[in-house]
Amino acid sequence: MRLRKIKHAKNQLAEHPSIVIIDPKTHQGTWQALFEKAQPLHLEVGCGKGKFIMEMADVYQDKNFLALERYDSVLIRVLEKWLKCPKKNVRMIYGNAMDLAMMFGLGEIQTIYLNFSDPWPKRRQEKRRLTHPDYIFKYRRILAPNGKLILKTDNDRFFTYSMMQINNDDHFRIDRMSLDLKETSWFNVSTEFEDRFQAQGQPIYYLEATLTEGEPHETTLS
């Protein structure tokens, strides 16, 4: 994604400390306290401008949603959407997925969404892919037992790579998969990138996995 730098974006985010968290590590294990009601926590890693999370929050009012984004100039777009239409079950995190294991307690998250993650196609970039085994390990720690990892992408090579990494991890079971999401009857909320690729007639690849055997967890909402 070409990034248009917005001046003072971080300062603007910091003006809404109850909505946008800029020091996520200090909330480890206590994310529910940011919401009106304690409900299963769903996290989008790399939320972009936030269309998906804002629409999901309307559909699933019995869940709490966290939108994680590493660029302040992008996250500000989510905040703008939120300020236009406040949602008590959505909060934003300004941070990097690399730090997930320090942001969340064991089993704190019910569902993780990876929507149109950067594919990092070059071999030397493999470690940056959000489905590299190092990331899968972090997801395993922060997901609740029977928690879900849900991935959508337009990139066939990234999809194949991700499917192999998830399949190779004994803690996850792949429940369903599609090589063309529009050919299924599955309920779907589209993302900004998805709309763009759909308009170009590109198939959307989809994968949903469950954490069957995680790290030792404390009791969490499920």
Ligand X SMILES: C[S@@+](CC[C@H](N)C(=O)[O-])C[C@H]1O[C@@H](n2cnc3c(N)ncnc32)[C@H](O)[C@@H]1O
Q: Which residues are near ligand X by CB under 6 A?
A: 1, 46-48, 68-71, 74, 96-98, 115-118, 191-194
Using alpha carbons, select from 66, 89, 69, 87 the residue that is nearest to residue 77.
69
Given the complex with ligand X, which of 1 and 38 has the nearer CB atom? Answer: 1
User: Would you call 195 a catalytic residue per the annotation?
Assistant: no
Quick check: 56 and 42 in contact, CB under 8 A? yes
Give the phi and the psi of residue 173 in degrees, each rounded to 5: -120, 125
Q: In angstroms, what is the minimal distance from the CB of 164 to ligand X?
A: 20
Given the complex with ligand X, which of 94 and 172 has the nearer CB atom? Answer: 94
Q: Rounded to whole angstroms, how far apart are CA atoms 63 and 11?
A: 29
Q: In angstroms, what is the minimal distance from the CB of 58 to ligand X?
A: 17
Q: Rounded to whole angstroms, how far apart are CA atoms 180 and 202?
A: 9
39 exposure class (CB count in 10 Å sphere: 0-12, 13-18, 19+): middle
Residues 6+ apart with CB under 8 A from 16: 79, 83
Q: In angstroms, what is the minimal distance from the CB of 135 to ligand X?
A: 8
| Three-state DSSP class for residue 64 | strand
Q: In angstroms, what is the minimal distance from the CB of 206 to ligand X?
A: 13
Given the complex with ligand X, which of 54 and 211 has the nearer CB atom? Answer: 54
Which candidate in 72, 118, 169, 170 is catalytic? 118
Q: Rounded to whole angstroms, how far apart are CA atoms 45 and 93?
A: 10
Given the complex with ligand X, which of 35 and 71 has the nearer CB atom? Answer: 71
Given the complex with ligand X, which of 74 and 142 has the nearer CB atom? Answer: 74
Q: Rounded to whole angstroms, how far apart are CA atoms 90 and 58?
A: 10
Q: In angstroms, what is the minimal distance from the CB of 37 to ligand X?
A: 25
Please identify every residue annotated as catalytic.
Answer: 118
